[in-house]
A and B are shown apart, each in its own frame.
Chain A
Amino acid sequence: MADIRSLHHAVADLVRDGDTVAMEGFTHLIPYAAAHEVIRQGITDLTLVRMTPDVIYDQLIGAGLVRRLVFSWGGNPGVGSLHRFRDAVENGWPRPLELDEHSHAGMANRYVAGASRLPFAVLRGYRGSDLPARTDTVSTVVCPFTGEELAAVAALNPDVTVIHAQRADREGNVQLWGLTGVQKEAALAARRVLVTVEEIVERLEPRPGGVVLPTWVIDAVCVVPGGAHPSYAAGYSVRDNAFYQAWDPIARDRETFTRWLDENVRGAGAGVR
């Protein structure tokens, strides 16, 4: 059953040094506020997992908290490179970053296997690509019925998955809608689940096509209005495209980045919830 509690206490309790952490969101409902709390608490040596690491992973990597990244596409969508990510990979600043690199189809299926508590998933993927040579989490398997050789990808089971959603009720049942990405799979694949929400409501109105994660698959729910900013929460806030564009010059320079992080995330009073 999910407890409804403060973001500070939920992060301190559920996210630990050395954990494998998935903070999912396919450009929508990205859990920025929770990630900023991880930065404030200095939780380190993390293996971060996400299909599309973007600005928030750039911040976590630049803060020196990340040892390894499991991903399929790392960029600032529509804007360009992630400069902190590149600096870590190319120059080891502020620390070297190991990569476990996949295609989107592979990552999606790794979560599906994790949520299904299977050891791997199969797909008709990776053929002709050099990607399998870089990772030990892609192999092949022969179909026992047709003899076809297929890609096998190892299940992903994060220690903790963190997502943002629109609503929860007082029992901690969570509802999200819009671009639901791979959040359901990432949550069900994890050992612990932390969800930040825009608001708590008395009753969850049914949403056609929406996703409900029942309270008994979640550990903590935290009320954090605007917790996805600068990404967005359909029905509550729109995407702050200007921030994504502004991020590029901030992240290009190590000192500018560090000053931004100190002033906006780590500074006294920043983001207290």
Chain B
Amino acid sequence: MTVPTDDAAFTSDELMEVNAARALADATTCFVGIGLPSTAANLARATVNPGLVLIYESGTIGSKPTRLPLSIGDGELAETADTVVSVPEMFNYWLQGGRIDVGFLGAAQVDRYANVNTTAVDRGPGRPEGRLPGAGGAPEIAANCGRVLLVLRHSRRNFVQRLDFVTTLGHGGGPEDRARLGLPGAGPAAVITDLGVLRPDPATAELVLTALHPGATVDRVRAATGWDVPVSDALGTTAPPTPQELAALRALKAAGEDV
């Protein structure tokens, strides 16, 4: 979905993608989920972080695609990689071994502690649950990477009071939960949406709206969030996309469509 913002120079999706890429400015290595995270990570390589090492769960380390891959197994990811390893090696040595900075994930449902559901949704009494794709690499990516970024569109369907299923732990139910479970990484550091950016409060681990994208409002965020989301006293506004960022993003997408 590409909803034009007021001045129609860029879409709300583009705001989300550009801001997600900016969140990788200081990363060394990124374990990349397909879809929006992959868009963000490839845009980061084209803009704020040319040296970023992209790692895909299909086994590629250091992929340098010139277009957006349709899938994590796209041939270009393997052909442009520094190396290709087996899937057991990827998960055991590189991920569980604690060698990856940032895990970048999408989500179907997220709650106030940035826990994630990608498994199944409750469709109401007497009806079978609705199927989602499943866990994939996410539980261990979120557990073992140094920190986690989430990117997804903002709606009440996605930002829910209570997850129907916890596929992947974010901050559990508070700041102590990750340590109690012995999860090595720091967990979700930001949730980037088409309306703004939410970050966990260090004291409570609960997500707080810390920045709005140009054109978005607190009321729109509240209307699209299934709980009473706190707003930071220092609420900021993200910088609009630069012409270079927009050009790079559109070039990546256009190249992908030619395939």
Chain A interfacial positions (CB closer than 8 Å to B):
26-28, 51-52, 71-75, 77-79, 81-82, 85-86, 89-91, 101-105, 108-109, 111-112, 123-131, 148, 178-182, 184-185, 209, 231-232, 234, 238-239, 241, 244
B168 on interface, CB distance cutoff 8 Å: yes
Q: Which of A73, A78, A105: most chain B CB closer than 10 A?
A: A105
Contacts beyond the supplied A112-B92, A180-B84: 4 A-B pairs with Cβ under 8 Å: A27-B74, A112-B88, A129-B167, A181-B87
Query: Does B50 belong to the interface (CB within 8 Å)?
Result: no
Contact: A74 with B69, CB < 8 Å?
A: no
Residues of B within 8 A of A (CB): 34-35, 57-60, 69-75, 78-79, 83-84, 86-88, 90-92, 95-96, 115, 119, 128-131, 133-140, 143-144, 165-169, 172, 177-178, 181-184, 259
For the complex of A and B, the 10 pairs showing the least CB-CB separation, nearest first, are A27-B73, A128-B169, A77-B71, A73-B136, A75-B133, A78-B70, A105-B91, A105-B140, A104-B137, A108-B88
Residue among B34, B73, B91, B143 making CB contact with A127, cutoff 8 Å: B143
B133 A104 Cβ-Cβ under 8 A: no
A124 touches B139 (CB 8 A): no
A241 with B136: CB separation less than 8 A: no
- With a CB–CB cut-off of 8 A, which chain A residues contact B58? 26-28, 179, 181
Residues in B neighbouring A111, C-beta threshold 8 A:
88
B181 touches A103 (CB 8 A): no
A245 to chain B, nearest CB (A): 8
Cα A28 to Cα B57 in complex, Å, equals: 13
What's the A-B contact tally at a CB cutoff of 8 Å? 175
* Bound CA–CA A124/B86 (angstroms): 19
* Interchain CB contact under 8 A, B78 and A28: yes
Given contacts A104-B136, A184-B86, contact A241 B182 (CB under 8 A): no
- Select A179's contact among B35, B60, B137, beta carbons within 8 Å: B60
Name B165's closest neighbour in chain A (CB-CB): A130
* Overall SS of chain B's interface: loop
Question: CA separation between A72 and B74, bound complex, in Å?
Answer: 19
Contact status of A105 and B96, CB under 8 A, knowing A27-B71, A129-B139, A181-B86: yes
Residue on A with the closest CB to B60?
A179
Contact yes or no, B70 A77, CB < 8 A: yes
When distances are taken between beta carbons in the complex, the residues of chain B under 8 Å from A86 are 130-131
B85 to chain A, nearest CB (A): 8
Closest to A73 in B: B136
A86 to B123, CA, bound (A): 13
Cβ contact of B134, chosen from A72, A108, A123, A185, cutoff 8 A = A72
A236 to chain B, nearest CB (A): 11
Please report the C-alpha to C-alpha distance between residue A85 and residue B131 in the assembled complex, in whole angstroms: 9
Residues from chain B with a CB closer than 8 A to the CB of A77 are: 34, 70-73
Residue from the list B57, B129, B134, B172 in contact with A128, Cβ < 8 A? B172
Give 6 CB contacts A-B under 8 Å. Answer: A73-B137, A105-B137, A124-B143, A129-B166, A209-B83, A238-B75
- Min distance, Cβ A185 to any Cβ of chain B, angstroms: 6
Nearest-neighbour CB distance to chain A for B166, whole angstroms, equals 5
In the docked arrangement, what's the CA distance between A238 and B258, Å? Answer: 14
Residue of B nearest to A149 (CB): B182
**Interchain nearest-CB distance for B92 vs A (Å):** 7
What B residues does A73 contact at CB under 8 A?
A: 133-137
- Chain B positions within 8 Å of A109 at CB level: 88, 91-92
Bound CA–CA A258/B177 (angstroms): 48
Q: How far is the CB of B8 from chain A (nearest CB, A)?
A: 28
Closest beta carbon of chain A to B64's beta carbon, Å: 16
Give Cα A79 to B70, complex, Å. 8
B70 with A103: CB separation less than 8 A: no
Shortest CB distance B74–A (Å): 7
